[in-house]
Amino acid sequence: MADELAIHRAMTVVVMGLAAIVFAVLFFVRAPYGRHRRGGWGPTMDTRWAWLIMESPSSLLFAAIFFSGQHHASVAPLLLFALWQYHYAYRAFVYPFRIRPEARPTPVVIAGMAFAFNLINSYINARWISHLGHYPLDWLRSPTFVLGAALFLTGRRINHWADGVLIALRERQKGYAIPYGGLYRFISCPNYLGEIIEWIGWAIATWSLAGGAFAVFAVANLAPRAWAHHRWYHETFPHYPPERKALIPLLW
Ligand code: NDP
């Protein structure tokens, strides 16, 4: 156990290191998928398959690691497991089939990096909640869990709603359009804001370094992309609402 704790901590530090690298790189290089897709990134693959393959470890491997842990049958870890799967079972196995089949292909290197990240991230989070960490029944009554779970569910709702608006836009017309309504009145990327709120909620609900590392990574990955999307909207649509911010209503 002592050895595994050291390995677990080292992998958590790796995720934080990756967050710092990703944050720095993404402010200069737009990740080349979706609207920012461009040549020069090697072979590509079908985008639906890319999402399914790269996100599936976060559901399947996470479940395998979780159920191998000594606390896997305890109520609080099981509830945390359910929260995680609420996001990732959808993201891995439902979301890919909501994307239009003719979506631009995704570079294999991008899917590969996301897949590798999800392996590490699944290990550090699943192992912590079902084996290395300690979550007695009382944890569910703690302000930490209650606040964290509430944030997680709020973020999930925002993320799911905002992705749904974009998918519906695509069903109505070919190509990109300006999304309107709800949080889109204030920011360009409410789906990313929702995702970030979810993982901050997870970090608080688990009160763990592993959860914290993933929340930091989500910000590092999605804040620069939100900025890239925001600039792209302004460049593409001359009448893009000027008062709209990128990611944080009224601020940024
Ligand atoms: P985007 O907002 O770039 O795209 C989401 C989908 O909507 C794509 O199919 C996209 O098409 C389409 N779309 C986007 N904007 C428009 C528009 N204005 N008009 C028409 N269609 C549009 O999100 P991502 O693909 O980057 O991410 C998808 C989900 O995955 C999000 O919920 C995000 O939070 C999550 N995610 C989480 C990460 C994490 O670190 N936890 C990392 C990356 C994503 P197209 O692909 O053709 O642009």
Helix axes 108-127, 75-93, angle to 10 degrees: 170
Which residue among 46, 117, 163, 217 has the greatest number of ligand 1 atoms within 8 angstroms of its CB, and so is best to mutate?
163
Over range 49-63, report the average pLDDT. 98
Distance from chain centroid for Cα 58: 10
Contact partners, residue 104, CB within 8 Å, separation at least 6: 33, 34, 37, 47
Considering only CA atoms, which of 197, 68, 78, 86 is closest in space to residue 140? 78
Distance 163 CA to ligand 1 centre (A): 7
- Cβ proximity of 83 and 151 under 8 Å: no
Per-residue pLDDT at 8: 98
d(CA 142, CA 138): 7
Reading the block at residue 131, the tokens are 């084996």
Per-residue pLDDT at 91: 98
Q: DSSP letters of 156-201?
A: HHHHHHHHHHHHHHHHHSSS-----SGGGGTBS-HHHHHHHHHHHH
pLDDT surpassing 80 at residue 2: no
Binned at pLDDT 50, 70 and 90, residue 228 comes out as very high
| Structure confidence by residue, pLDDT tens digits, 141-196 | 999 999 999 999 999 999 999 999 999 998 888 899 999 999 999 999 999 999 99
Q: Ligand 1 pocket: which residues have CB below 6 Å? A: 34-35, 99, 103-104, 159, 163, 166-167, 169-170, 176-177, 179, 191-192, 195, 218, 221-222
* pTM given for the model: 0.97
